[in-house]
Amino acid sequence: EDQVTQSPEALRLQEGESSSLNCSYTVSGLRGLFWYRQDPGKGPEFLFTLYSAGEEKEKERLKATLTKKESFLHITAPKPEDSATYLCAVRSNQAGTALIFGKGTTLSVSS
Amino acid sequence: NAGVTQTPKFQVLKTGQSMTLQCAQDMNHEYMSWYRQDPGMGLRLIHYSVGAGITDQGEVPNGYNVSRSTTEDFPLRLLSAAPSQTSVYFCASSYSGQISNYGYTFGSGTRLTVV
């Protein structure tokens, strides 16, 4: 059974304090690992897709990396506007068109 | 370009009542789906459709019904609401051949409370 586990559940950072969020996955044939950002009261917003181990993608202060068992979302010098819940999801051979989501990490950045 | 539009944004139902959550997209996406999001549970797939006239069940389909008569619309019907269906519901869509490139586009959600 495909599984996605995110850690930590919640993370509090000071502005400028870099850190990483973790997404561990177990899937039958990975067809893509996705990172989304979700603000309170809104739907998830697409950030990145990663396909193969060693792949990296960047967007502003965010950098996503992928290994064979996990993905990291690195946040460099975060700002208060980076506060949100970050969701990880996978697409697998077994799940077909469905994305399997983790429970998310809620990030709070204070100034 | 509206993207994925969900209505209503908020709804309170009494146990046993029925209702339809509306979802419409203007991107000509073949794939549409419904997820529910509960605290501590993450997003869970209810039903999905890969094109007009084609629907299938996801992880948690019980108590819900869907149909897809047009490419644009994918309504979710609650047949007899129960308190366990209190949740935030999200509609999502994508080009079927582009899911692995861009994931889904999500609507802004419907917050449903069943009392």
Please list, in sequence order, all residues whose beta carbon lies within 8 angstroms of the beta carbon of residue A20, skipping any fewer than 6 positions away. Answer: A72, A73, A74, A75
Q: Which long-range contacts (CB under 8 A, 24 or more apart) does A50-56 make?
A: A51/B100
Rounded CA gap, A29 and B61, in Å?
25
Distance from CA of B79 to the nearest CA of A (A): 24
The tokens of A6 are what? 């995110």
**Phi first, then psi: what are they for B14, rounded to 5°?**
-95, 150
Residue showing tokens 């969020």 = A21
pLDDT of residue B1: 61
Beta pairing partners, B5: B24
Work out whether the CA dihedral B42, B48, B50, B56 comes out positive or negative.
positive
pLDDT value of residue B23? 98
B61: preceding bond cis by omega (within 30 degrees): no
A43 → closest Cβ in B42, B44, B90: B90
Q: Which residue of B has its CA nearest to A35?
A: B103
The C-alpha torsion from B17 through B45 and B41 to B63, rounded to 10°, is 20
Asked if A91 lies within 8 A of B100 by C-beta distance, the reply is: yes
Is the distance from CB of A62 to CB of A75 less than 8 angstroms? yes
Cβ–Cβ below 8 Å for A91 and B4: no
A78 min Cα distance to partner chain B (Å) = 24
Q: With an 8 Å Cβ cutoff, is A31 touching chain B?
A: yes
Partners of A32 on chain B (C-beta within 8 Å) are 99-101, 103
Number of residues in chain A: 111
Distance separating alpha carbons of residues A100 and A89, to the nearest angstrom: 5
The alpha-carbon gap from B99 to the nearest alpha carbon of chain A, in Å, equals 7
Q: How confident is the model at residue A94, as a pLDDT?
A: 77
CB within 8 A of B62, min separation 6: which ones? none
* Closest CA in chain B for residue A33: B100
Q: Looking at residues A85-105, what average pLDDT do you find?
A: 90
pLDDT tens per residue across span A27-69 = 988 989 999 999 999 999 999 999 999 999 999 999 999 999 9
Sites in chain B below the pLDDT cut of 50: none
The full length of chain B comes to 115
